[in-house]
Every structure is written in structure tokens, then in C-alpha cells.
């Protein structure tokens, strides 16, 4: 996190995946972005390069004061990405 402010903050994340030898998806890189559009653009570009299995763009609310992290809200998903367990949403 960039800021030490207390209270809820919305973070925008681009997460890039690679495929392991046993066909499992692994996080290759997680990038904090300045806003939703930037996260979406980074994920799209990463996937379009053709070197990654997939990429997600999502937002997540983090409350440092309460030491709490919300569930991710997916903005865009490209290629092969991990399944989302909707029962935990």
C-alpha cells in the first residue's frame, strides 16, 4: 500500500498469471495501479503480449484501521485466470 492513512481505501490491482509445468496457474506479478482504467489497461496489455496465461484487473477495499480486506471486485479478466468462488463473495 502506498498510503499510511487510516480508514477504508480502494486499491486497483493488475495481477498477471503464468502456467506452471503441471498446468497450474501461478501469480507472476501483482501491480498496484492508480485507478480502474489503468488496472484494466495493464491487464489487457499484459495478456495481449502473448507471454502470459492470463491477467486480472480488480479493485479491493482495504481498511487499515480495522485490519480488514474486502473481497476483490473484478473489473476485467483476460485469458486463463483462476476460478472465483462465488460462495465467498
Residue 1: its pLDDT value, please? 45
Q: In the predicted model, what is the mean pLDDT of the chain?
A: 90
pTM to 2 decimal places:
0.83
Which single residue is written with the C-alpha cell 483462476? Answer: 82
User: How far apart are alpha carbons 87 and 77 in whole angstroms?
Assistant: 19
Residue 2 cell numbers, joined: 502506498
If you average pLDDT over residues 54-73, what whole number do you get? 92
User: How far apart are alpha carbons 9 and 63 in whole angstroms?
Assistant: 6
User: How far apart are alpha carbons 33 and 71 in whole angstroms?
Assistant: 17
Whether residue 6 has pLDDT greater than 80 = no
Whether residue 54 has pLDDT greater than 80 = yes
Amino acid at each position: 500500500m502506498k498510503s499510511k492513512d487510516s480508514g477504508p481505501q480502494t486499491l486497483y490491482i493488475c495481477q498477471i498469471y503464468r502456467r506452471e509445468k503441471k498446468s497450474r496457474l501461478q501469480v507472476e506479478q501483482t501491480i498496484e495501479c492508480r485507478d480502474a482504467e489503468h488496472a484494466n489497461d495493464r491487464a489487457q496489455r499484459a495478456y495481449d503480449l502473448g507471454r502470459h496465461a492470463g491477467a486480472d484487473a480488480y479493485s479491493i477495499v482495504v481498511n487499515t484501521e480495522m485490519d480488514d480486506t474486502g473481497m476483490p471486485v473484478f473489473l476485467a479478466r483476460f485469458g486463463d485466470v483462476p476460478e472465483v468462488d462465488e460462495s465467498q463473495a
